[in-house]
A and B are shown apart, each in its own frame.
Chain A
């Protein structure tokens, strides 16, 4: 598998360039860019940054624990988990739905938490990697990843494991090929793919409750 899920979409350096445009003075920014770009930059600088921030109430159940929160609507579910609830197990890889590092379960279904606003999940139940183990006892999928060396650097691993659990629950772990297809939403830059497939097959064949 290639590394970039969406080769035609520019990678994050564009984001940095925009941040730069916003931070530097208008004149400097405009002096640096060619003419056709200027109008686009001006549109961007028109952000109403000073506008008063209206927070919205939000109730969530995360890993069995109830939270009553007040959040800005633009907070993604991923940022809420990491920044507000300090559940840093869920990772931010791309922030654009292209890598799967941010995979969590919402109402039991796996989703990319980076492409969803937290307020859209009012009243829902979220499970993150922190909620998978039973106290000190690892979840069978976590055990299997350890046993099969299903990671190297470990950055993609929380997302891989959340996705793998869902893959088995959905009934999409019938063969190595099916696992590869249904795990394709999780990119591993270290290329631990074959060991990840082995771990999932082990759990599936072991028949434990996931």
Chain B
């Protein structure tokens, strides 16, 4: 691994300044993604700014929502009483990710910013536009079993691997950022981006901007929720595809719905049209099937991921059925 300078500020402003001063600097939180990528030579920061001493771990009520500090551990968020009471979907998604040990290290901010698991991105001997712009996309004509069916471009067909982010986009979360030019907020849905012609950029975060927290507004989705993750073994594997589903039921009638998919696009994929198709419908398998068909409109497969075109609607129906029965 390359040598790097290491600094450990205790104030957010000092951390931001330290990264802003140096084009090759990076924040490090849990390290579970960055250390992995540094060992493989995929990321080679010359300076690491350890943000673990910043006071960004709290989980607290603010107004009519919940604010979760960027350094809150994935395990702490999943176990938090307020999170489980107000946003059980988030706890389910977090517990479906990685392993207990990794969740004890991984932070909310780091989880959002984890890079794709595309094998070509990970292998520095392979072409990859995300790792090295202009070198080509190895997956396009290569092994693309894990890759996108929505929102891709001819420059990159990778998917975002985070489970937590699928729940956060469904719950209409907001990301709080702090940078050299001050503070700002971004809707979670606008945080990650599609690859377009610049797949090297995963998100709309500016260089040296620090994620300070995520806010989730109160919602009626406190009971009928489910996170359906399909993977190649029972646990400790990334999603082939996942679905976050939440229903607000009046008897058997759907008053409101939230749906998002993971493992299908360069960003967590909110299914707004399918949500609309559910409103006013009875919570029946037939209605879920119709919504799933709406959700899959526009999906397109590559050589090895055609299975996702059938897995997608099945997982959506299964998630909605389980949510309705919860």
A132 to B18 Cα, complex, angstroms: 40
Determine whether the beta carbon of B238 is less than 8 Å from that of A109: no
Q: A112 touches which one: B48, B75, B101, B132 (CB < 8 A)?
A: B101
Among A49-57, A62-70, A142-150, the stretch in contact with B = A49-57
Please give, as numbers and ranges, the residues of chain B lying within 8 Å of A15 by CB-CB distance.
39-40
B219 CB–A CB distance under 8 Å: no
Please give, as numbers and ranges, the residues of chain B lying within 8 Å of A21 by CB-CB distance.
125
B105 CB–A CB distance under 8 Å: yes
Among A40-48, A83-91, A197-205, the stretch in contact with B = A40-48
B102 CB–A CB distance under 8 Å: yes
B307 CB–A CB distance under 8 Å: no
Closest Cβ of chain B to A96, distance in Å, is 5
Contact A115 to B32, CB < 8 A, known contacts A7-B237, A9-B122, A97-B102 = yes
Contact indicator per residue, chain B 98-129, by CB within 8 Å of chain A (1) or not (0): 11111011000000000001110011111100
Please give, as numbers and ranges, the residues of chain B lying within 8 Å of A163 by CB-CB distance.
100-101
Determine whether the beta carbon of B6 is less than 8 Å from that of A119: yes
Contact A1 to B117, CB < 8 A, known contacts A37-B125, A110-B104, A120-B52 = no
Determine whether the beta carbon of A8 is less than 8 Å from that of B40: no
A23 CB–B CB distance under 8 Å: no
A5 to B32 Cα, complex, angstroms: 15
Determine whether the beta carbon of A48 is less than 8 Å from that of B6: no
A163 to B234 Cα, complex, angstroms: 18
- CB closest chain-A residue, reference B116: A8
Determine whether the beta carbon of A36 is less than 8 Å from that of B35: no
Closest Cβ of chain A to B233, distance in Å, is 5
Determine whether the beta carbon of A5 is less than 8 Å from that of B236: yes
A95 CB–B CB distance under 8 Å: yes
Determine whether the beta carbon of A167 is less than 8 Å from that of B100: yes
Contact A18 to B124, CB < 8 A, known contacts A8-B117, A116-B35 = yes
Please give, as numbers and ranges, the residues of chain B lying within 8 Å of A36 by CB-CB distance.
127, 135-136
- CB closest chain-A residue, reference B95: A181
Contact indicator per residue, chain B 132-145, by CB within 8 Å of chain A (1) or not (0): 10011000000001
A127 CB–B CB distance under 8 Å: no
A14 CB–B CB distance under 8 Å: yes
Contact residues of A between 8 and 38, Cβ < 8 Å to B: 8-10, 14-15, 17-18, 21, 33, 36-37
B196 CB–A CB distance under 8 Å: no
Please give, as numbers and ranges, the residues of chain A lying within 8 Å of B35 by CB-CB distance.
76, 114-117
Please give, as numbers and ranges, the residues of chain A lying within 8 Å of B39 by CB-CB distance.
15, 95-96
Determine whether the beta carbon of B132 is less than 8 Å from that of A14: no
Sample of 12 A–B contacts (CB below 8 Å): A1-B233, A2-B232, A5-B237, A7-B232, A8-B117, A56-B6, A112-B32, A117-B48, A120-B50, A180-B234, A181-B235, A185-B100
| Further 4 A-B residue pairs, CB within 8 A, beyond A36-B135, A47-B2 | A8-B146, A43-B124, A73-B4, A76-B35
